[in-house]
Amino acid sequence: MPNSSSIGTMTVFDIVVIGSGPAGTTTARYAAEKGLSVLMVDKKQELGAPIQCSGAVSFNALDNAGVFPSPEFIQEAIYGFAIYNGQGQKKVIDYRKIKPGEYGSEAGAKPLGFVVDRRRFDRYLATQAERAGVTIWLKTEALGYRVLDDGSCEVALKKFNDTITVKAKVVVGADGVQSQVGKWAGIKTHIKLSELASCLQFVVDGVQTEGLLEIVTGHEWAPGGYAWVFPKGHGYAEIGLGVTRTMCTDNAQVYLDKFLKQSFFKERFKNCRILEIQGGGVPLAAPLKIQHADNLILVGDAARHVNSITGGGIHTALSSGKIAGNFLAALLLSGEPCTKENLKGYHNNWLNAMGNNMWKLYEVKRKIFDTADIAQRDEQLYATMSNYFSVDSEYKKI
């Protein structure tokens, strides 16, 4: 198992990963599996909490990143989608009916995806990383980094109440939507108000679901975003929405209240009881044009690796983490320094594997939300969402 070493009193690692979400844990695991010494820090005391996510992720996303779909984190299996327009007309894409035998709950068939509990999911991913040799420090906030003359860098950390410095060849900013790590290197990471979906969701009891992710489009319910009803296991459901604040007059809370009480689902929601409140920001933004600097790269939400049509970022965080971990392992094992120039290879690998497609998705999203006529925009979003999740979708590979 690779270990840190010490120079004087300073601890030295090959890689310091900041953030232990899907992006950080995956980057750390792939790098450690290749034999590098990796420290992953998170300021949280409990992984995945507070929850800022609905937890929908495809079977393929887990499979591609070597994550076994464990009952430890799965809350409910998903078999398809129901996409609604603002008036309640729906398109159901149920893979149990489209490809019977292949998708389903019976023996030999598999689910299309899952709703996961992010507390347990993030902990599971961290355990995988830890078993691959990653050192994990919780209650450890990264405060800044400094490039050193010898081609490495040092990272200032606050671990519980102690301020310490560790030395590394490269720092990975996997610090999520509120990323500060990029700013340390002068990368502009703040997200435009017009490109951040402001989201709120309730975990509820008393709302029936059918193994489908339900997506409700329409300016009336969620301007610049959509509303959702996801199965949450044990008879629970998630009801939530994301709105673009520059496209509406009120905040997400007002819209969620309206969705519960006034939408075509109001009868269905009549007896729902709210058990948990969660929220967050989803960057429906272009990926960062620059995701690297000397001794530093950004991965996941921090680099805005989010699907700007669906707002999904778990799949893309896992995939980018794998690309980043493998790239850094190859670079460091080659003995080449982690200069900005050399780290561009990470960005190029990411563009080829998924980034170019993410840029295309962003353009599709932008075109829809730039449409001034609301009826037209609603129609486009409904059509695009329906198309996105269909079996023969042109976006399938993204």
Partner 1 sequence: MMSTKDPVVFEVEWNACIKCGACVAVCPQEAGFTSSFDTIAVNKACDIACMFCQTVCPVNAITHQTLFSTEAAVF
Ligand X SMILES: Cc1cc2nc3c(=O)[nH]c(=O)nc-3n(C[C@H](O)[C@H](O)[C@H](O)COP(=O)(O)OP(=O)(O)OC[C@H]3O[C@@H](n4cnc5c(N)ncnc54)[C@H](O)[C@@H]3O)c2cc1C
- Site residues (CB under 6 A) for ligand X? 18-24, 41-44, 52-57, 141-142, 174-177, 180, 199, 201, 240, 279-282, 300-302, 306, 312-315, 317
Establish if 245 lies at the interface with partner 1 (CB under 8 A).
Answer: yes
Q: How far apart are CA 358 and CA 348, in angstroms?
A: 13
Measured from the CB of residue 300, what is the shortest distance to partner 1 in angstroms? 13
Measured from the CB of residue 184, what is the shortest distance to partner 1 in angstroms? 6
Q: With CB under 8 A as the contact rule, which of the stretches 56-64, 209-217, 275-283, 324-332 interacts with partner 1? A: 275-283
Rounded (10°) angle between helices 314-334 and 22-33: 30
Cβ neighbours of residue 266 closer than 8 Å, sequence gap 6 or more: 260
Q: How far apart are CA 10 and CA 382, in angstroms?
A: 56
Distance of CA 243 to the CA centre of its chain: 18
> What values do phi and psi take at 160, rounded to 5?
50, -120
Q: How far apart are CA 114 and CA 62, in angstroms?
A: 10
Q: With CB under 8 A as the contact rule, which of the stretches 119-127, 179-187, 204-212, 290-298 interacts with partner 1? A: 179-187
Q: Which of 281, 360, 383, 390 binds partner 1 (CB under 8 A)?
A: 281
Establish if 16 lies at the interface with partner 1 (CB under 8 A).
Answer: no
What does 20 bind: ligand X, partner 1, none (CB cut-off 5 to 8 Å by kind)? ligand X
Q: How many residues bind partner 1 (CB under 8 A)?
A: 28
Measured from the CB of residue 252, what is the shortest distance to partner 1 in angstroms? 4
Establish if 261 lies at the interface with partner 1 (CB under 8 A).
Answer: no
Measured from the CB of residue 228, what is the shortest distance to ligand X in angstroms? 8
What does 54 bind: ligand X, partner 1, none (CB cut-off 5 to 8 Å by kind)? ligand X
How far, in Å, are 19, 25, 36, 268 from residue 28 at the CA level? 10, 5, 9, 44
Of 27 and 37, which has the nearer Cβ to ligand X?
27
Measured CA angle at 245 (ends 80, 373), to 5 deg: 75
Strand (E) or helix (H) holding 357:
helix 356-370
What does 287 bind: partner 1, ligand X, none (CB cut-off 5 to 8 Å by kind)? none
Of 80 and 279, which has the nearer Cβ to partner 1?
279
Measured from the CB of residue 377, what is the shortest distance to partner 1 in angstroms? 21
* CB-based contact 155:166 (threshold 8 Å): yes
How far, in Å, are 36, 129, 387 from residue 145 at the CA level? 20, 23, 44
Measured from the CB of residue 144, what is the shortest distance to partner 1 in angstroms? 8
* CB-based contact 252:202 (threshold 8 Å): no
What does 191 bind: ligand X, partner 1, none (CB cut-off 5 to 8 Å by kind)? partner 1
Q: What is the DSSP letter of 366?
A: H
Torsion angle defined by CA atoms of residues 140, 142, 146 and 152, in that order, rounded to the nearest 10 degrees: 60
Of 31 and 302, which has the nearer Cβ to ligand X?
302
How far, in Å, are 64, 123, 146, 246 from residue 323 at the CA level? 11, 21, 25, 34
Q: With CB under 8 A as the contact rule, which of the stretches 104-112, 176-184, 257-265, 386-394 interacts with partner 1? A: 176-184
List residues bridging with 40 in a β-sheet.
Answer: 17, 136
Q: With CB under 8 A as the contact rule, which of the stretches 31-39, 62-70, 87-95, 278-286 interacts with partner 1? A: 278-286
Q: Which of 28, 126, 196, 328 binds partner 1 (CB under 8 A)?
A: 196
Kindly state the tokens that stand for 334. 């080659």
What does 222 bind: ligand X, partner 1, none (CB cut-off 5 to 8 Å by kind)? none
What does 317 bind: ligand X, partner 1, none (CB cut-off 5 to 8 Å by kind)? ligand X
Alpha-carbon torsion 379, 385, 299, 135, what sign? positive
Alpha-carbon torsion 372, 374, 378, 379, what sign? negative
What does 23 bind: partner 1, ligand X, none (CB cut-off 5 to 8 Å by kind)? ligand X
Establish if 54 lies at the interface with partner 1 (CB under 8 A).
Answer: no
Of 259 and 379, which has the nearer Cβ to ligand X?
259
Binding site for partner 1 (CB under 8 A): 50, 52, 144, 176-180, 183-184, 190-193, 196, 198-200, 245, 251-253, 277-281, 283
